[in-house]
Structure 1
Amino acid sequence: MVEIGALRALRSVAALGTLARAAEELGFTPSAVSQQIKRLERQIGVPVLAPAGRGVVLTPAGQAIVDAAPEVFQALERCAEAARSVAEGAPRGTLRVVAFSTGIRGLLAPMIPRLSARCPDLRLHITEQDPEQALHSIHSGAADLALVHDADGLPAPLPVPLAQHHVHTDIGDVVMRRTHPLARLDRPLTSADLAGQTWVTSPPGTVCHQWFRRLVADVPDDPDVRHLVDDFSTQLSLVRANQVIALVPRLARPPLGEGLVSRPLGRPPKREIHAAWRRSADASPAIQAVLAELGRTDTPTSSPD
C-alpha cells in the first residue's frame, strides 16, 4: 500500500525540483522527505527519482505515479469533506489560507471578527504569498484557500483541479495632500489633470507600477517620478511630507488622516480578486463559511476623503 505522505512528498519534489524545496513546502527536513521517497520506492519496487545536476528528475515510473496522484488526493479529500459536511455542517479545525498582502489587509482581516463569532471552532492560518505561489500551494495541497488577483488585467492561470469565485474588484485612486491643487477638484481626474505632477510610485515589475504606466500613457511629458517605494504606508508618508502624489489601490490604503485626501480617476485602474480552492473541497464547511463572510466584507467602494 502506497503511503499518502510519500505520495505527497513525491508530488512536491516533482513540482519544485529538489528535495530541499519540497521539504520547505511540506514543513519537513530534506532527510525526512528523502526517507519518504525511499519508502515509496521500496513499496512499489522501482526507482521514482534520478539525480540531475543539483536537483532530481522523475523516472518514467515516478512520472506515472505523479500523473495518477491528483485522483487519489481528490478522492481522499472528498471523503474527508463528506464526513465534515454531515457533522451538522459545522466549520471547525484549521483552514490554511494564502493571500497577497493587501488582500489580507483589506479582505481577510475585516471579516475575521465576524467569522470568529459565527464559527468559534474554526481557526484561520494565514500566509502571505503572491498569486502564482498561492495557486501552487492550493494545487499541491499545502493550503486550502487562496486569494489571488489578476496581473495587468490577465487572470492568473487556474489549474484544472481548482475552482474559483469572484470576491472583489479593487480600484486605484490618486492620493495627495489636502492642500494640493488637485484636491480642490470635485470631479474624477483626467490625464490632463495629471500633466506636470510629481509622483511616488510602486517599483517596476509590480502590478501597481503597470497601473501607473497606463495611467500616464496619455500625458504629453514623461512623468516626474521622485520615489520608487513598494510599501503603500511609506508612499503615503512621502505624500504627507512632500508635494508628490501617489496611485494607491483601495484595498492597500490605510486611513488617510486629516492631512491627505484621495480623488477618483475618470478611467481608474482595476484588478479582479478571486478566491480559489480545490474542486474536491467544494463541500468543505470551512471554505464555504469563509466565502460567505468575504461576501459580507465592507470594503471601500468609493473614494472617501
Structure 2
Amino acid sequence: MIDVGALRALRAVAASGTLARAAEELGFTASAVSQQIKRLERQIGVPVLAQAGRGVVLTPAGQAVVDSAPEVFQALERCAEAAQSVSEGAPRGTLRVAAFSTGIRGLLAPAVARLSTRCPDLRVLITEQDPDRALHSVDTGTADLALVHDADGLPAPSPPSLTRRHMHTDIGDVVMARAHPLADVARPLTADDLAGHAWVTSPPGTVCHQWFRRLFADARAEPDVRHLVDDFATQLSLVGSGAVIALIPRLARPPLGDGLLARPLRRQPTREVHAAWRHSADASPAIRAVLAELALEHLPRGRVSGRGGGPLVQ
C-alpha cells in the first residue's frame, strides 16, 4: 500500500524541482522529505527520482505515479466529505486557507471572526500567499481554499482540478488629507482633477501601481510621484502630512479617522476576487461555511457623504 504522505511529498518535489523547496512547501525538513521518497520507492519497487545537476527529476515511473496522484487525493477527499456528511455536515476540523494580504484584512478576518461563533468546531489556518502560489497550494493539497485577485483584469490561471467562484469586487479610491484642495471637489474625480498633484504609490509590478499608471495613460506629463511604498498603512501616514495623495483599494484601507478622507474616481479601478478549491472538495462543510461568510455583503467602512453634497467614502 502506497503511503499518502510519501505520495504528496513526491508531487511537491515534482512541482518545485528540489527536495529543499518541496520541504519548505510541506513544512518538513529536506531530510524528512527524502525519507518519504525512499519509503515510496521501497513500496512500489522502482526509483521515482534521479539527480539532475543540483536538482532532481522524475523517472518515467515517478512521472506515472505523479500523473495518477490527483485521482488518489480526490478519492480520499470524497471519502472524508462523505464521512462529514453522515455526521450532519457540521463544519469541523482544520481548514487551510491561502490568500493575498488585503484579502485577509478586508474579507477573511471578518469572516473568521463570525465563524468562530457560528462554527466553534472549525479551525481556520490562514497563510499569506500571492494568487499564483495560493492556487498552486490548493492544487497540490497543501491548502484547502484560496482567495485570489485578478491581475490587470486577467484572472490568475487555475489548474483544471480547481473550482472558482467570484466573491467580491474591490474598488480603488483616492485618499487625501481633509485640508487638501481636492477635498472640496463635490463629484467623482477625473484624471484632469488629479494632474499636478503629488503622489505616494505602490511600487511597479503591483496591481495598485497598474491602476495608478492607467489613471494617467492619456496624460501629457508624467505624474509627480514622490514616494514608492508597498505598505498601505505607511502610505496613509505620508498622506496625513498633506503633501501627497494615494490610490488605495478599499480592502486595504483601515478606518481613516478624522484627518483623512477618500474620494471616488469617475472611472473606478477594480479588481475581482475569487475563491478556489479542489473539485473533489465541493461538498466540504468547512469550505461551504467559509464561502457563505465571504459572500456576505461588505459595506463601505463608515458613512458616505461629502462637502457640498459630494461623495465621501471613509
**Which band: TM-score by shorter chain?**
over 0.9
User: Is 1:98–1:126's contact at 8 Å kept on the other side of the alignment?
Assistant: yes
What is the letter of the counterpart of residue 293 of structure 1? E
Name the structure 2 match of 1:45.
Answer: 45
**Residues 106, 299 of structure 1: 8 Å contact kept:** no
Q: Deviations over 1:146-169 (max 9, x none)?
A: 100001110000110100111100
After superposition, the C-alpha distances for 1:219-276 in whole angstroms (9 at most, x for unaligned) are 2211000000000010010010132100000000111111111100011111000011
Find out whether 1:258 has 2:258 as its counterpart: yes
Between the aligned partners of 1:268 and 1:6, the Cα distance in structure 2 is 49
The unaligned stretches of length 5 or more in structure 2 are: 305-311
Q: Which letter maps to 1:182?
A: L
State the match for 1:202 in structure 2.
202
For 2:19 and 2:211, how far apart are their aligned partners in 1?
38
The question of 1:127 aligning with 2:136 is answered: no
For residues 259 and 184 of structure 2, the distance between their equivalents in structure 1, rounded to whole angstroms, comes to 14
SS of the residue 1:203 aligns to:
coil
Q: CA deviation at 1:114?
A: 1.6
Runs (4+) of structure 1 exceeding 3 A deviation are none
- Using structure 1 for the length normalisation, give the TM-score: 0.98
- 1:94 CA displacement: 1.0
Cα drift, residue 27 of structure 1? 1.5
1:149 corresponds in structure 2 to 149
Asked whether the equivalents of residues 107 and 297 of structure 1 are also in contact (C-alpha less than 8 Å), the reply is no
- Tell me which residue corresponds to 1:213: 213
Cα deviation, residue 116, structure 1:
1.3
What SS is found at the alignment partner of 1:235? helix
Unmatched tracts of structure 1, length 5 or more = none
SS in 1 for 2:90: coil
What percent of counterpart residues are identical? 77
**Matched residue, 1:272:** 272
**TM alignment of 1:137-216, pairs within 5 A:** 137-216=137-216
| Alpha-carbon separation, structure 2, partners of 1:77 and 1:26 | 18
Structure 2 CA distance for aligned equivalents of residues 154 and 275 of structure 1: 15
Equivalent residues in 2 for 1:74-153, closer than 5 Å: 74-153=74-153
1:297 CA displacement: 4.9
Q: Which amino acid aligns with 2:270?
A: K
Shift of 1:43: 1.5
Q: What count of residue pairs does the alignment treat as equivalent?
A: 305
**Deviation digits for residues 7-46 of structure 1 (CA, Å, limit 9, x no counterpart):** 1010000000111111111111111111111111111111
Whether the 8 Å CA contact 1:194–1:219 is kept in 2: the answer is no
Letter in 2 for 1:211: W
Measured after TM superposition, the shift of residue 300 of structure 1 is: 2.4
Residue of structure 2 equivalent to 1:295:
295
Contact conserved, 2:264 with 2:313, CA < 8 A, in 1? Answer: no
Distance 1:180 1:168 in 2: 31
2:282 equivalent in structure 1? 282
1:222 aligns with 2:222: yes
Corresponding residue for residue 22 of structure 1: 22
Q: Which stretch shifts more, 213-222 or 15-24?
A: 213-222
Contact preservation (8 Å) 1:251, 1:300: no
User: Is the Cα–Cα contact under 8 Å of residues 176 and 242 in structure 2 kept in the other structure?
Assistant: no
- The whole-number CA distance in structure 1 between the counterparts of 2:271 and 2:131 is 12
SS at match of 1:234: helix
SS of residue matched to 1:296: coil
1:299 CA displacement: 4.2
TM-score, normalised by the number of residues in structure 2: 0.95
Contact 2:99–2:128 at 8 Å: present in 1 too? yes
Q: For 1:277 and 1:158, how far apart are their aligned partners in 2?
A: 10
Contact 2:14–2:58 (Cα < 8 Å) also in 1: yes
Instruction: Check whether the contact 2:49–2:57 (CA below 8 A) recurs between aligned residues.
Output: yes
The Cα offsets for residues 77-126 of structure 1, whole Å up to 9 and x where unpaired, read as 01111111221110011111111000000001112222111111111111
Look up the match of 2:308. Answer: none
Give the equivalent residue in structure 1 for 2:5: 5
Q: What letter corresponds to residue 40 of structure 1 in structure 2?
A: L
For 2:63 and 2:288, locate their aligned partners in 1 and report how far apart those are by CA, in whole Å.
34
